[in-house]
Amino acid sequence: MSKSGIENIEEIVKTYGKDVLKICRYYLQNKQDAEDAFQEVFIKLVRKHSAFCGKSGFKTWLTRIAINTCKNFLKSRSLRNDTINLLDCDDRRDTAIYDECDELYKIIVSLPLDYKDVILLKYYFGYTSKEIAGILKTTEPAINSRLHRAKIYLKEILTERGWSDYEYLD
């Protein structure tokens, strides 16, 4: 990213936009909010480009901005007492092709935020624990512990629902 921060913004939006939108949809579960958050992420990126010191990778930094932006959206949503009905959300697929994957996805996106963070970053984006610690500004042991607890929590939910033989991830 250049000093001005905008010379190659078009390229940045094109390159990273899809991942940013995925993060927004994952956290916000609402198309309209996700699109608003998407725009906010790139506006913040330009505004804060001078804070990018290059210690972490650009994508890592952008991911952190995207996650923080979504959490701020969630906070303002809770202040407005808005709620999202997962059955109405746009990620609900056509009932004809709705399967266990969709059901598990719906459970994952309803997990507590701490668990959602690590699950998305680890199992979708494939970041290492060290990279996740950098994104979430915490320590590697804390991330490993959170991942462990997230999986236990998820397993408990799935067991309650009779999903005792699902493929467990180590």
Residues at the contact surface with other proteins, assessed by CB under 8 A:
4-6, 9-10, 13-14, 17-18, 21-22, 25-26, 35, 38-39, 42-43, 46-47, 68, 71-72, 75, 78-79, 91, 99-102, 104-105, 108-109, 114, 117, 119-120, 123-124, 136-139, 142, 145-146, 154, 163, 165-169
Q: Which is nearer to other proteins, 57 or 72 (CB)?
A: 72
3-state secondary structure the chain: CCCCCCCCHHHHHHHHHHHHHHHHHHHHCCHHHHHHHHHHHHHHHHHCHHHCCCCCCHHHHHHHHHHHHHHHHHHHHHHCCCCCCCCCCCCCCCHHHCCHHHHHHHHHHCCCHHHHHHHHHHHHCCCCHHHHHHHCCCCHHHHHHHHHHHHHHHHHHHHHCCCCCCCCCC
CB of 83 to other proteins, least distance (A): 16
Q: Which is nearer to other proteins, 54 or 164 (CB)?
A: 164
CB of 110 to other proteins, least distance (A): 12
Q: Is the dihedral of CA 48, 51, 56, 58 positive or negative?
A: positive
CB of 161 to other proteins, least distance (A): 10
What tokens does 40 get? Answer: 């906010």
Residue among 66, 74, 83, 161 at smallest CA distance from 120: 66
CB of 91 to other proteins, least distance (A): 6
CB of 163 to other proteins, least distance (A): 5
Q: Which is nearer to other proteins, 14 or 130 (CB)?
A: 14
